[in-house]
Structure 1
């Protein structure tokens, strides 16, 4: 479950980073995060590489080697990154719930598709079986008609057999 948290957080961090990187900044060179300590959260988070820790009012460089900042740096509930109103604990819970709903939705769709396919294949099998029975019955009807026609021709020319197993004698 922790892997899912980290993956969803990584995706969100990437999206926030790219959207922040695309917006023009007012200062040409961002100031180091440590110089923004004891200011405001909004001031600290103008630089996307900074992490704001609310209780200590510290602006620190985001620990990029970890997806989540360790609690020794700042507790998850108090850490802010990207937006001042989003803390990591709520972000993790929200992303995991959304990820779980997404996975369940995909599984339900797959199960429904498989079920529909099985029902469709049963219907196709029944249709093929009906067509096969109809074809065989038409063949039997044609075979009996052909046999009757052959018997009529044999009677017409006097070569009808009373016993189908008897040899025909030459007259």
Structure 2
């Protein structure tokens, strides 16, 4: 990893911190549950979003109840580019894109980690070229041993022919005389 790059752990921490910074102001400034969102219509976005269950629509300056049963607010209620939820400085469209990018990076990171772990587990296994090289080395060693044994037997025959063959026991000559 290059010195300027952030590791996967840091990316995860930074993504989590960004999400936390995005959602904490909305949860910290929550109004009592009895306050209706419609009371904050034609006021400011900050006043509307003090209640976490409210959605601010900037086109008509309306503070609406967030449709909890749906993940995304319908376009008949407010367009995604004009809808604000949690914080006023990020529209719903940008929030969805940012969350998708963070989620995609997390999935990609997990996938890369899994691939790296799988490759590390397979690497100790010798591949075909290593097996072939080991087989060839063993064949060369066997041929060399055969040649050595053959040369030794030839040399022994020559020594016998000319009487230069060394006996098993050097003292056996004295005992036989």
Residues 45 and 81, structure 1, Cα contact 8 Å, conserved in 2: yes
Cα gap change, 1:79/1:22 in structure 2, threshold over 3 Å: closer, same or farther?
Answer: closer
CA 1:74/1:21 → structure 2, altered by over 3 Å: closer, same or farther? closer
Give me the whole-angstrom Cα distance separating, in 2, the residues matched to 1:102 and 1:17.
Answer: 18
Bigger CA drift: 42-51 or 105-114? 105-114
Higher relative contact order (CA 8 A, sep 6+): 1
TM-score by length of structure 2 reads 0.56
Does the aligned pair in 2 maintain the 1:20–1:48 contact within 8 Å? no
Q: Which runs of 5+ in 2 are unaligned?
A: 1-18, 168-177
1:47-101 alpha-carbon deviations (Å, 9 max, x no partner): 1111001122211111011111001111112111011111122333444456566
2:131 matches 1:128: yes
Q: What CA distance in whole angstroms lies between the structure 1 residues aligned with 2:64 and 2:43?
A: 12
Tell me whether 1:19 sits opposite 2:24 in the alignment: yes
- Match status 1:70 vs 2:70: no
How many residue pairs get matched?
141
Which residue in the other structure is 1:37 paired with?
41
Distance 2:85 2:100 in 1: 18
Q: Is the 8 A contact 1:52 1:79 kept in 2?
A: yes
CA distance in 1, matches of 2:52, 2:41: 15
What is the rounded CA distance, in whole Å, between the counterparts of 1:21 and 1:132 in structure 2? 69
State the Cα RMSD in Å. Answer: 4.5
